[in-house]
Amino acid sequence: MLLMKIIRSDKPGTWLLAILLVVSIVVPVLNLLVPENSAFHLSTYTVTLLGKYLTYALLALSADLVWGYLGILTLGHAAFFALGGYAMGMYLMRQIGERGVYGDPVLPDFMVFLNWQELPWFWYGFDQFWFAALMVMVVPGILAYVFGYLTFRSRVTGVYLSIITQAMTYALMLAFFRNEMGFGGNNGLTDFKDILGFDLRADSTRIALFLASAAALAIGYVLSRIIVSSRLGLASVAIRDAESRSRFCGYRVENIKLWVFVFSAIMAGVAGALYVPQVGIINPGEFSPLNSIELLIWVAIGGRGTLYGAIIGAILVNYAKTYFTAAMPEVWLYALGALFILVTLYLPKGIVGLRSMRREKT
Amino acid sequence: MSPFSIAALVRKPISLLLFLCMISVPAPQVLAEEIPDNDLLDDAWKTLPSKNYNNKAKALETIARQNPPQALPVMKAMLEGQLYYSKHDKALYFLQETGDNYTFSPVFSGEQISQENRRGFKKVKVNNRLRSTIRQLLAVMQLKHKDADIRLAAVQELLKKPEISASHLIKKAVESETDSRVTTAMQTLLAVIQLEKGDETEQRSAIKTLSQSLNSSAMNALRDYQAPTETLKNAAQSAIKKIDDKRDLYAKAETIFFGLSLGSVLALSAIGLAITFGVMGVINMAHGELMMIGAYTTYVVQLLMPNNIGASILVAIPAAFIVAGLVGIAIERSVIRHLYGRPLETLLATFGVSLVLQQTVRTIFSPLNRSVETPQWMSGAWQINEVLALTWNRLYIILFCLAVFAALIMVMKKTTLGLQVRAVSQNRNMARAMGVRSTWVDALTFGLGSGIAGLAGVALSLLTNVGPNLGQAYIIDSFMVVVFGGVGNLWGTLVAGMSLGVINKLLEPWAGAVLAKILVLIFIILFIQKRPKGLFPQRGRAAED
């Protein structure tokens, strides 16, 4: 009942969930039931693209939770996304089995290529889906916990915190580029064949992944909404606006920050895990600090501190990116740069803030 | 013996000792200068076109011993494969290739022949063994060359394969030698020879001489040394250890030098950031791109004055400062001015600026990397001894960094602008109340920081290729330096930059370049936990939060 109350009080969120529901009914119908020569047919490529946008939206949602409600400008959120992606990639890699180029039943191709004799210990268990699914959440969660525990306890805030989150993702990127790490080095993990026994290239699998992404986004949204409406959420907003005062009022600032941060990291990990089977590759480039910063602009354009704004921003910017990089690639960086500048200067509340801004004027 | 070299010998007791031993040793007969014997020499010349390499080697030794004026050019031509002989009378010719034309000029007498091919002539064949013999002989002949560098090179050539036959000549040469480097090298060479062939007293003194040397051939000679007695064996062993220790020490010095030069680049790129960050609390993500602009300015200046590469760098330094500074002021006036008090938003906006700048450069200069030519006076190395050589460009970059730093400290401490900048950074409101125009100070500070980024770009352009991604590669490192050193503290930035550079280079040998960088990043993340405001936190009355 509490849930219903929360959802009812969040009108834009309700709309968003409704749209998501409609899309997840219409898209499979248009792809599977409408014949290919019809004008209404949706190609599998488009379905995958939409699925990718949804995972990005989930990532943006997780970043908004940390930035919009906790006031931490994280420049390393893509690290959690990539770690979740790698966990899923390892599962998919083990599923290839003997179908790899070298045909080794256990070792992935790149290990055979590097002349490794046996599987490194951290690859154990990834042949089981449940284990991989667990790791998708556990690994980013643990990293966020350790990182957050250290930094929040020593009261590293503001710009310093931003910069060391960037250092974290940068260090991870350099580490994953190394062949010795055992994650495929430069090339990352790719050439996936199937997931849970279903062929990854089949239309139905693609649709299923799309639906899973939509479901994950819906669940992530509802959970985030519950958190921000709860006392925990209110306390984190208090911390965002006046950290010292909240501390003096007796709130355990470190713990509140830590749990929201860890939850957000887990959500980002899930987003990464859903991203990898749809895109078909995960490599160290996903850790690059540039990705983390770009993701912030999705949130900023949509409107931070609203949750639904992040989702809208992620989908809009990525649609624009797909369009521009295909139509006029040299313009894209100008456009993105201009977006960064204009949004921070003139749209501090993002697109969803436009309405309230107009209301304030009149 | 000239008075000068006696003085030199007396100054070094070891040399004197060596000199005394030399007198007592009977000179070996091979390679001693002989009475000119024309028949022998003629035979030798005639042997050169033959097929037997052993005979050729013997002939060359004869020629070297007699040392006629043709010996040197002939041997050099043989090394380069440009000595030919005509097929019909076996006379020797030098070949000169000019385009499609082959000119054969005779070694002795006769007519110069010019033709379009090599018909009628055959190359005097040389194999690898013969080549090394020729090099040795050339070295011996060049021991008396006028140029000290050539003499040194000759001795070093001989050191590669020390022959007892050469020792007599070297003993003679060392007496008239005036250059101390060459003397030392010759003494090392003599000691190596004596270690192998001399009696026990000679061997003892040879070990003593060699223990002073850093040369790797000296080291090898000591390693291969078959000591006749236990004491000599121990002496040799301790000499090896002594050399090893010394070489280690110099290797460490070199690592630290590399670390300092890397640290200078880091400090240079971070100082500008430290100013804007410290004074305005603004994180300027476009800082790397301002460095890139400085680097491209250097490139353009070189394009404008292609005949004067040496001076172009000197022109580029002020040019880069001005261009980057103006771009910086433009950024401040158009974007950052509107975002004061919102540091995190500034970060995003300046990131947008950096993307636009990158793409602009890509449009103007193409996405390909450009390279800036290193001027003559910056290439090469300063050879301190046989192990330690400091490259000039790294040395200049360290000096440049220190000079920029000193100039900046002067600006901050001695000028009105500096006073106002410090006032604003300590307490903006109070400074404004005292009549400081803080907006004006902000713009100039940002311009100053950006100008220094431009200077860093000049330095970088000499180290790496200039490309649109140049800035991105350095921005994260510069952030780390600023955060590590403590915001708003210039000395902190310098110390942090230098120490991070040295730590990085010290870790590299056992961890590899990438892992070293990762370790440094982890170290900084952990360090910030301990001291959230860096090494040297800024002290002021501004309240936190």
Decide if B194 contacts B210 (C-beta within 8 A).
no
Nearest CA in chain B to A177: B514
Min Cα–Cα distance to chain A from B488, Å: 13
Q: How far apart are CA B483 and CA B495, in angstroms?
A: 12
- In tens, the pLDDT along B313-344 reads 889 999 999 999 999 999 999 988 888 777 77
User: Which residues, listed in sequence order, are joined to residue B93 by a DSSP beta bridge?
Assistant: B84, B106
Contact A341 B356 (CB under 8 A): yes
- In tens, the pLDDT along B108-157 reads 777 788 887 777 888 888 888 888 788 777 777 777 777 777 777 777 77
Q: Which amino acid is at A260?
A: V
Q: Over 60: is that where the pLDDT of B15 sits?
A: no
Q: Smallest Cα–Cα separation from B48: which of B9, B74, B13?
A: B74
* Among A54-58, B60-64, B294-298, the least confident range: B60-64
* Among A133-142, A262-271, B183-192, B320-329, the least confident range: B183-192
**Which residue has tokens 């003629």?**
B42
Look at chain B and report how many structural domains it folds into.
2
* Among B29-38, B245-254, B375-384, B473-482, the least confident range: B29-38
Contact A174 B352 (CB under 8 A): no
Token pair in block for residue A315: 């989908």
Q: How far apart are CA A268 and CA A136, in angstroms?
A: 9
* Domain shared by B258 and B210, yes or no: no
* Domain shared by B33 and B150, yes or no: yes
* Domain shared by B183 and B92, yes or no: yes
- In tens, the pLDDT along B219-240 reads 777 777 777 778 888 888 888 8
A344 closest CB neighbour out of B283, B345, B483: B345
Mean pLDDT for A224-244 is 92
The one-character DSSP state at A31 is I
The CATH number for B297's domain is 1.10.3470
3-state secondary structure at position B85:
strand
Q: Over 80: is that where the pLDDT of B171 sits?
A: no
Q: Over 70: is that where the pLDDT of B407 sits?
A: yes
Q: Smallest Cα–Cα separation from A16: which of A263, A305, A310?
A: A310
- A168 close to B (CB below 8 A): yes
What is the reported pLDDT for A361? 65
Q: Over 80: is that where the pLDDT of A257 sits?
A: yes
Q: Over 70: is that where the pLDDT of B11 sits?
A: no
Indicate whether this model's pTM tops 0.90: no
- A219 close to B (CB below 8 A): no
- A297 close to B (CB below 8 A): yes
Q: Write down which residue in B232, B259, B281 finishes a domain.
A: B232
Q: How far apart are CA A303 and CA A16, in angstroms?
A: 15
- A156 close to B (CB below 8 A): yes
Is residue B439 domain-resident?
yes
What is the reported pLDDT for B19? 44
* Domain shared by B216 and B255, yes or no: no
Domain hosting residue B52, numbered range: 3-232
Q: Over 60: is that where the pLDDT of B3 sits?
A: no
With a CB cutoff of 8 Å and minimum separation 6, the contacts of B188 are B159, B209, B210, B213, B215, B217, B218
Residue B259 — φ and ψ, nearest 5°? -60, -45
* Helices of type H across B12-161: 13-24, 38-47, 53-66, 71-79, 128-141, 148-160
- Cα B49 to Cα B78, B89, B130, distances in angstroms: 11, 11, 13
Which ipTM value was assigned to this complex? 0.86
Q: How far apart are CA B280 and CA B294, in angstroms?
A: 22
* Domain shared by B225 and B278, yes or no: no
**Which residue has tokens 């992620």?**
A314
Specify whether the backbone of B84 is left (phi greater than 0), alpha (psi in -120 to 50) or beta: beta
Is residue B279 domain-resident?
yes
Contact B338 A345 (CB under 8 A): yes
Is residue B383 domain-resident?
no
Contact A158 B343 (CB under 8 A): yes
Mean pLDDT for B75-86 is 81
What is the reported pLDDT for A36? 81
Chain B residue numbers with beta carbons less than 8 Å from the beta carbon of A339 are 352
Is residue B351 domain-resident?
yes
* H, E, C per residue of A158-192: HHHHHHHHHHHHHHHHHHHHCHHHCCCHHHCEECC
- In tens, the pLDDT along B198-213 reads 777 777 777 777 777 7
Contact B530 A338 (CB under 8 A): no
With a CB cutoff of 8 Å and minimum separation 6, the contacts of A72 are A66, A161, A162, A165, A257, A261
With a CB cutoff of 8 Å and minimum separation 6, the contacts of B271 are B404, B405, B408, B452, B456, B490, B493, B494, B497
Mean pLDDT for B373-392 is 79
Q: Smallest Cα–Cα separation from B274: which of B543, B542, B536?
A: B536
Is residue B104 domain-resident?
yes
| CA dihedral sign, ordered B397, B400, B402, B404 | negative
Token pair in block for residue A293: 């910063």
Question: Nearest-5° angle of CA B351, CA B353, CA B358?
Answer: 95
Q: Which helix (H) or strand (E) holds B517?
A: helix B513-530
Contact B352 A336 (CB under 8 A): yes
User: Which residues, listed in sequence order, are joined to residue B383 by a DSSP beta bridge?
Assistant: B389
Is residue B382 domain-resident?
no
Q: How far apart are CA B431 and CA A41, in angstroms?
A: 67
Decide if B404 contacts B455 (C-beta within 8 A).
yes
Token pair in block for residue A257: 């920050």
Q: How far apart are CA A109 and CA A121, in angstroms?
A: 17
More confident call, A360 vs A237: A237
First to last CA, chain A: 37
With a CB cutoff of 8 Å and minimum separation 6, the contacts of B455 are B268, B294, B317, B320, B321, B324, B400, B404
Q: How far apart are CA B248 and CA B242, in angstroms?
A: 10
Is residue B379 domain-resident?
no
What is the reported pLDDT for A249? 92
* Domain shared by B323 and B439, yes or no: yes
- pLDDT-based confidence at B354, cuts 50/70/90? very high
* Domain shared by B341 and B485, yes or no: yes
Rounded CA Rg of chain B:
33
Query: Which percentage of chain B shows pLDDT scores above 90?
Result: 18
- A150 close to B (CB below 8 A): yes
Contact B359 A334 (CB under 8 A): yes
Residue A176 — φ and ψ, nearest 5°? -75, -20
For chain B, the residue count is 545
Q: How far apart are CA A142 and CA A151, in angstroms?
A: 14
| Range 230-289 of B in CB contact (< 8 A) with A | 277, 281, 283, 285
Min Cα–Cα distance to chain A from B515, Å: 7
What is the reported pLDDT for A57? 96
Is residue B485 domain-resident?
yes
Nearest CA in chain B to A343: B349
* Domain shared by B151 and B254, yes or no: no
Chain B residue numbers with beta carbons less than 8 Å from the beta carbon of A70 are none
What is the reported pLDDT for B51? 78
Mean pLDDT for B15-40 is 49
What is the reported pLDDT for B543? 43
Chain B residue numbers with beta carbons less than 8 Å from the beta carbon of A302 are none
Mean pLDDT for A37-44 is 84
Q: Write down which residue in B197, B232, B267 finishes a domain.
A: B232
Nearest CA in chain B to A155: B532
